[in-house]
Chains A and B, each alone.
Chain A
Amino acid sequence: MVDVLGQLAGGFGAALSPMNLLMAALGALLGTLVGVLPGLGPTAAIAILFPLTTVLPPVPAIIMLAGIYYGAMYGGSTTAILLNIPGEVASVPTCLDGYPMAQQGRGGIALGIAAIGSFFAGTLGVVGLTFFAPFLADQALRFGPPEYFGLMVLAFTVVAGLSGGSLVKGLSMAVLGYFISLIGLGPSTAEPRFAFGWAPLMSGVDLIALVVGLFAISEVFLGLEEQRVAIATTIRSVFPRLADLRQAAPAILRGTGIGFLLGLLPGCAPGVTVFLAYDVEKKISRHPERFGKGAIEGVASPEAANNATSSAGFIPLMALGIPASPPLAVLLGGLLVYGLQPGPLLFQKNPDFVWTVIASLYIGNLVLLILNLPLIGMWVWLTRIPYGILGPTILLLAFLGAYSVRNSMFDVAVSLVFGVVGYFLRKYQWPLAPLLLAYILGPLLEKYMIQSLSMSGGSGMIFLQRGMSLALLVAAGILLVTSLVLVRYTSRRVKQETAEEMAL
């Protein structure tokens, strides 16, 4: 405990340096800026802004990325409340009561409650990260290749949670992601795979080019097709009255509890917990008939659950290297770009980095609250920018972003191709998150499997003979079943509320 606090203090020392503080604020600002653009969720926001961080050293870059993540999450709730447009499925419940509140002229209060709930839940999630992640990482230090393989299999249970209601679609996308990750040099002999003698393919498909194509370029075309238009909204005050706070506080607490505890499970995305939090709140309310008509608890609880799950998701991400949601998968990719492999060894090899990032998460949450409440007028103004300006600007940014990472026109071509592929996949509701997750985790699964099988002389029994490895595989099975049950529940709820199917 004392050790953790000491390391956290050291982290704060570094995170409070002017450069890191600036990056946390800039990340929160940029993330909110992109997040408030109608239809752009946190994954697309991180994908678009990711290339801007690549010129920075690892610590400020990851701090900025985390700020972008938090900012985009909050920005998503702004469009959900003011425009009834959920950037991602996690914002759907916020629309249910947030938009009616905005129609009643209480949009500012809904935004204020969302900001306060997000801050509270986000901070509590980071407290959990501070104390729980090092413990988890410490346990995982005893892992050998078979245990890591079990861990990677556990991570793949996330695919079920991200499948958007069809396991065949989710698994197909995951294996496709795997296939893409195989392109390049083989890990054992450095023999080119799937390159067919063409030099650009030998260095593989770049993560940023893939993400920019799948999540940013495809998003612009979907937005163009939906003919998104700006809507005029006026905001009076974003500071809730004491009575509002009193009404929302228990809902924030319950949403935080549900979001945090379920967020610890790999495979439980915010899309799942927000609906659970909303339904619990409605069920225990003395006036359930107010829900859907502008109940403040209907905004407070899912917003708190969303941020608690997002923050809790950092625990399996940092301690075990398992991302629980698409934006965290992109963040994991960001860490890998900097040569930092999240997992137990990260705490051993790069403690300064880990604790600086954790400290910056506290700061990022606070910065977000400080910035967002006074700047809400500016965010509202941004939602009025016509899509005819936004679309081309995002495309140009995406093009240059894909180029700038490796200064490669091949990467730009890759992002354009995946932009088109992503557009059709999203249109026909083939989930992209499993593809991304498998692309990122695939090489690790391959590495640990090959190491394990080399140890055992080719016998797969090695995974069942070692206690921890077996336990992880059993846990993966249990989590898979739990995820499927939760996904079925959430898919049904999303369909009820939006008459659509959405990837979680």
Chain B
Amino acid sequence: MHAAGAGQGKVVGGILVLLGILALVEGVRLHALRTEMVAGAVVGDDTFPLIVGVALLLLGGAAVLVRLPSAKVTIPRGPVRARMLWGLALLAIYWLIVPSVGYTGSTALVSVGLFRTMGGYRWPRSLLLGALTTGLLYLLFRVWLLQPLPTGWLGY
């Protein structure tokens, strides 16, 4: 466990400054476009990106410079971190395979994986839980809510 104060401020502040620069660049582009397209208009689509850009720069600077309340943060390690990373990886895989494998097949695969890795269940129980969850979600989204879900190569 460690107290995070200045470190988090620098990271978030840095990101805010970068986003602020991005907003200002976009604001300048939109400003040029407005003066070209709408003659005489004093405000337009560029106004808020410019304001937000300046605000992001100021707050980003403040986050870096001002002493923020320290937070006791525990960085997950060992099996907990592994479970979290597995969960995230499986969600990313889910996102990748849904369009090709289809909703039902990919949900079955990923749910078994999630119960195995995040839940820590043995394979037989993970398979059972995965099958149950896939069936229930199919009923909920496909049958009850009539959602058009991706069908993929398998056709379902």
Distance, CA A224 to CA B149, complexed state (A): 28
**Which residues of B122-151 are within 8 A (CB) of A?**
129, 133, 137, 140-141, 145-150
Residues of A within 8 A of B (CB): 52, 55, 165-166, 168-169, 171-172, 175-176, 178-179, 182, 186-189, 191, 193-194, 217, 220-221, 224-225, 227, 386-389, 391-393, 395-397, 399-400, 403-404, 407, 409, 412-413, 416, 419-420, 427-430, 442, 446, 449-450, 453-454, 457-458, 500-501
Given contacts A225-B84, A396-B111, A416-B91, are A429 and B71 in contact (CB under 8 A)? yes
Within 8 Å by CB of B43, from A227, A387, A454, lies: A454
Contact A388 B118 (CB under 8 A): yes
**Which residues of B59-116 are within 8 A (CB) of A?**
59-60, 62-63, 66, 68-69, 71-74, 76, 80, 83-84, 87-88, 91-92, 94-95, 98-99, 107, 110-111, 114-115
Contact B95 A413 (CB under 8 A): yes
Given contacts A388-B121, A391-B87, A429-B71, are A396 and B133 in contact (CB under 8 A)? yes
Contact A453 B91 (CB under 8 A): no
1/0 contact string of B16-47 vs chain A (CB within 8 Å): 10010011001000100110011001111101
Q: How far, in Å, is B66 (CB) from chain A's closest CB?
A: 5
Contact B23 A388 (CB under 8 A): no
Contact B48 A403 (CB under 8 A): no
Contact B119 A427 (CB under 8 A): no
Contact A386 B80 (CB under 8 A): no
Given contacts A193-B26, A458-B42, are A391 and B52 in contact (CB under 8 A)? no
Q: How far, in Å, is B123 (CB) from chain A's closest CB?
A: 14
Chain B hits for A386, CB < 8 A: 119
Within 8 Å by CB of B30, from A179, A191, A393, A396, lies: A191
Distance, CA A420 to CA B45, complexed state (A): 30
- Find the B residue at minimum CB distance from A429: B71
Interface size on B, residues (CB 8 A): 68
Contact A186 B71 (CB under 8 A): no
Distance, CA A188 to CA B4, complexed state (A): 43
Contact A407 B148 (CB under 8 A): yes
Within 8 Å by CB of A176, from B19, B74, B98, lies: B19
Q: Which residue among B12, B19, B111 has the maximum number of chain A CB atoms within 10 Å of its CB? A: B12
Chain B hits for A430, CB < 8 A: 8, 12
Given contacts A179-B23, A454-B41, A458-B42, are A449 and B47 in contact (CB under 8 A)? yes
Distance, CA A227 to CA B118, complexed state (A): 11
Q: How far, in Å, is B109 (CB) from chain A's closest CB?
A: 12
Contact A397 B137 (CB under 8 A): yes
Distance, CA A404 to CA B150, complexed state (A): 10
- Find the B residue at minimum CB distance from A495: B69
Chain A hits for B140, CB < 8 A: 52
Q: How far, in Å, is A353 (CB) from chain B's closest CB?
A: 22
Distance, CA A81 to CA B52, complexed state (A): 43
Given contacts A172-B16, A172-B63, are A420 and B99 in contact (CB under 8 A)? no
Given contacts A172-B63, A194-B26, A224-B80, are A392 and B111 in contact (CB under 8 A)? yes
Q: How far, in Å, is B98 (CB) from chain A's closest CB?
A: 7
Within 8 Å by CB of A172, from B37, B59, B111, lies: B59
29 contacts between A and B (CB under 8 A): A52-B145, A168-B66, A169-B68, A172-B12, A175-B55, A178-B48, A182-B49, A189-B33, A194-B23, A221-B87, A221-B88, A224-B80, A225-B76, A227-B80, A388-B118, A392-B115, A396-B114, A400-B107, A400-B137, A413-B95, A416-B92, A428-B12, A429-B69, A446-B48, A449-B47, A450-B44, A454-B41, A457-B42, A501-B71
Distance, CA A178 to CA B55, complexed state (A): 10
Given contacts A224-B87, A450-B47, are A501 and B69 in contact (CB under 8 A)? yes
Chain A hits for B141, CB < 8 A: 400, 404
Contact B37 A189 (CB under 8 A): yes
Q: How far, in Å, is B80 (CB) from chain A's closest CB?
A: 6
Distance, CA A446 to CA B30, complexed state (A): 15
Given contacts A186-B44, A227-B80, are A191 and B56 in contact (CB under 8 A)? no
Contact A395 B114 (CB under 8 A): yes
Contact B111 A403 (CB under 8 A): no
Distance, CA A450 to CA B51, complexed state (A): 12
